Amino acid sequence: MLTIWTYDYVPGGENGPRGLVRDLRLRWACEEAALDYEVKTTPFDDRGSDHFARQPFGQIPFLEDDGLKVFESGACLLYLAKKSEILMPSDPVGEADTLQWTIAALNSIEMVSVPWMVLNWSDGPDNGLAGWLDSRLARMEAVLADREWIAAGRFTVADIIMADVFRQTRRADAPAYPNIRAYKERACARPAFRKAHDDQVAHFVEGDRARSG
């Protein structure tokens, strides 16, 4: 049985992260591949030494599989992808394509979009990183002009990470990026995404009850 670890609580409200917390990536992959999993929690408020022992930055998600432990959502996704061809083709060409786009989502898009998002809080959307982010989004807009899914000619784990990176980046919703928006909508219409999303939201509602009770 796989265990996906997340927080017991994250702030709610309109600008809170519920529905965007990165354990969703792992839930989504397990749902797509019909892998059995459970969800366990670590405290959001008091991150103790046992949390840092499992995730050196005190973040979530992290994954356990029969004693084996993995952190970093990208590493967890690639670990899960080894368990099911639904997530990553086993032929060398399809596998390489899936790997390269998984890393591109993390290391070429998210590495720009997260710093942009942080600056957005203080300096607004047209902050000093907007041009850099726009150049990456414009390239993705062109790439997505003629493909339904990002790698291997079909849905793979690379779509889970790419679509989720776009979900976290409000700038990707700009009118300049219709292909990105359509891609994100395709991904989010998948039953596995909807289940993962709704389960995460319900998890944090339940967490609220536990805190107030």
Ligand X SMILES: N[C@@H](CCC(=O)N[C@@H](CS)C(=O)NCC(=O)O)C(=O)O
Binding site for ligand X (CB under 6 A): 21-22, 58-60, 72-74
Count of H-run helices and E-run strands, the chain: 9, 4
CA distance linking residue 16 with residue 7, whole number of Å: 14
Nearest residue (CB) to ligand X, 90 versus 122: 122
* Nearer to ligand X (CB atom), residue 47 or residue 85: 47
Nearer to ligand X, 74 or 94 (CB): 74
Determine the residue with CB nearest ligand X: 59
The distance of closest approach from Cβ of residue 12 to ligand X in the complex, given in angstroms and rounded to an integer, is 15
From the CB of residue 41, how many other CB atoms can be counted at a distance below 10 Å?
18
SS3 state at 192: helix
Nearest to 27 by CA among 206, 149, 201: 201
Q: CB nearer to ligand X: give 6 or 98.
A: 6
Work out how close the CB of 10 gets to ligand X at its nearest, in angstroms, rounded to a whole number. 7
Q: How far is the CB of 142 from ligand X (least distance, A)?
A: 26
Q: How far is the CB of 105 from ligand X (least distance, A)?
A: 10
Report the C-alpha gap between 102 and 105 in whole angstroms. 5
